[in-house]
């Protein structure tokens, strides 16, 4: 959808968009809903705060917002790539898929946490 | 009658959008309430020091698993397991996992983190996720051909693989997850 807006109708010819038609469907509005719902919850509980560098990150890597945002961006690229690659994320595979007892989802979620635990331990050391 | 209502919904785009937004707001609200939109909570889970993420996911899976299988046994719902392969589920899962550890949010909780004011989730996370998904779309034809179909096992469920009634897996899985939740609570994580 985003790419279509950027590059016009040419991208629609590609194999990917033939399989996954780019439309604004319920899944797109669901994401906006998550932002709104979390905002309401954070305001009501007084936990809303504008923050670029989480405390845990700052204690290990310092308070530089550029470093944190750069790391978050690289992580985000891998996360977006991996979620499409595996056909789901911690919600789609991790909750909806595992609760249907889908074999693909149990394998994917095990790999999410193997990759995640290994990366976090490398970044922060095992004994935090 | 229920079937009829669901069939109506499949052709009603506007109603789907309204329900999607409504469920998104509820999901985002509860993710933030559960604490899993915080970087510290997610990384704490990955460092095996804080089991909030496990608690949220396991309780959702217990309720959803029993509920969905109950609906299915009553003929009110059908399952939609995703098909998978080693090349897709395992390799994609590991790539996802590295991103998960580096970003400190997953896609849904990154959206929730944006709502609670986390700038790193907005500027780094969301833009990165969009680029990553775009890279996948760009490389999709060759990935599909070379990697995604390796070791394909289809949309089988665990009960189907074992050749047993689904409840023979649902009940033990629910009991094991419940046991783990109580054990984690006892040991103070």
Number of neighbouring beta carbons within 10 Å of residue B84: 30
Task: Give residue-wise pLDDT tens across range A38-58.
Answer: 999 999 999 999 999 999 999
The alpha-helical segments, DSSP class H, found in chain A are 2-7, 15-19, 26-45, 55-61, 65-86, 98-99, 103-124
Residues 44-63 in A contacting B (C-alpha not used; CB under 8 Å): 45, 47-57
Q: Which residue of A has its CA nearest to B60?
A: A95
Interface of A with B in 22-41 (CB under 8 A): 24-41
In chain B, which among 66-125 make CB contacts under 8 A with chain A? Answer: 68, 79-86, 88-104, 106-121, 123-125
> In the beta sheet, which residues pair with residue B32?
none
Answer whether A30 sits within 8 Å of B100, measured CB to CB.
no
The alpha-carbon gap from B68 to the nearest alpha carbon of chain A, in Å, equals 7
Read off the pLDDT of residues B170-188 as tens digits, 9 standing for 90 and up.
999 999 999 999 999 999 7
Q: Which of A97, A121, A123 sits opposite B81 (nearest CB)?
A: A97
B96/A111 CB distance under 8 A: yes
- Give the other-Cβ count within 10 Å of A53's Cβ: 21
Asked if the C-beta of A73 comes within 8 angstroms of chain B's C-beta atoms, the answer is yes
Residues of B with CB below 8 A from A70's CB?
124
pLDDT band with cut points at 50, 70 and 90 for residue A13: low
Q: Provide the whole-model pTM.
A: 0.92
Q: What angle do CA B108, B98, B174 make, to 5 degrees?
A: 60
> Which ranges of B47-166 does DSSP label H, i.e. alpha helix?
52-73, 91-103, 107-115, 119, 127-143, 158-162
- The beta-carbon contacts of B164-170 under 8 Å, at least 24 apart in sequence, are B166/A101, B166/B69, B166/B72, B167/B69, B167/B73, B169/A101, B170/A101, B170/B65, B170/B66, B170/B69
Q: What is the pLDDT of residue B12?
A: 86
Summarised one tens digit per residue, pLDDT across range B120-154 is 999 999 999 999 999 999 999 999 999 999 999 99
Q: Interface pTM (ipTM) of the complex?
A: 0.94
Among the listed residues B17, B32, B72, the one whose alpha carbon sits nearest the alpha carbon of residue A27? B17
pLDDT at A114: 98
CA angle B81, A78, B158 (to 5 degrees): 20
DSSP state of A101: T
Q: Do B96 and A112 touch (CB under 8 A)?
A: yes
Burial A19-52 (b: 16+ CB within 10 A, else e): eeebeeebebbbbbbbbbbbbbbbeeeebbeebb
Q: What percent of chain B has pLDDT over 70?
A: 97
């Amino acid at each position: 959808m985003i790419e279509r807006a950027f590059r016009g109708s040419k991208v629609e010819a590609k194999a990917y968009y033939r399989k996954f038609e780019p439309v604004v469907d319920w899944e797109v509005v669901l994401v906006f809903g998550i932002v709104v719902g979390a905002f309401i919850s954070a305001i009501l509980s007084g936990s809303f705060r504008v923050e670029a560098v989480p405390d845990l990150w700052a204690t290990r890597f310092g308070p530089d917002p550029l470093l944190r945002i750069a790391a978050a961006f690289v992580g985000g690229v891998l996360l977006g790539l991996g979620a499409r690659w595996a056909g789901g994320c911690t919600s789609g595979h991790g909750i909806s898929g595992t609760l249907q007892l889908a074999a693909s989802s149990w394998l994917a979620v095990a790999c999410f946490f193997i990759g995640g635990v290994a990366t976090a331990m490398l970044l922060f050391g095992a004994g935090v | 009658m229920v079937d009829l209502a669901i069939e109506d919904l499949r052709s009603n785009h506007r109603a789907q959008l309204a329900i999607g937004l409504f469920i998104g707001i509820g999901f985002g609200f509860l993710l933030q309430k559960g604490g899993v939109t915080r970087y510290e909570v997610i990384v704490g889970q990955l460092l095996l020091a804080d089991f909030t993420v496990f608690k949220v996911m396991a309780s959702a899976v217990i309720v959803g698993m029993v509920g969905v299988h109950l609906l299915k046994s009553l003929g009110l719902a059908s399952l939609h397991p995703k098909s998978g392969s080693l090349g897709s589920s395992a390799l994609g899962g590991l790539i996802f996992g590295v991103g998960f550890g580096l970003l400190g949010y997953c896609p849904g909780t990154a959206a929730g983190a944006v709502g609670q004011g986390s700038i790193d989730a907005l500027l780094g996370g969301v833009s990165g996720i969009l680029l990553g998904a775009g890279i996948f779309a760009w490389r999709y034809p060759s990935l599909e051909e070379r990697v995604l179909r390796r070791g394909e096992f289809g949309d089988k469920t665990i009960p189907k693989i074992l050749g047993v009634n689904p409840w023979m897996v649902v009940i033990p899985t629910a009991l094991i997850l419940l046991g783990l939740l109580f054990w984690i609570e006892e040991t103070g994580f």
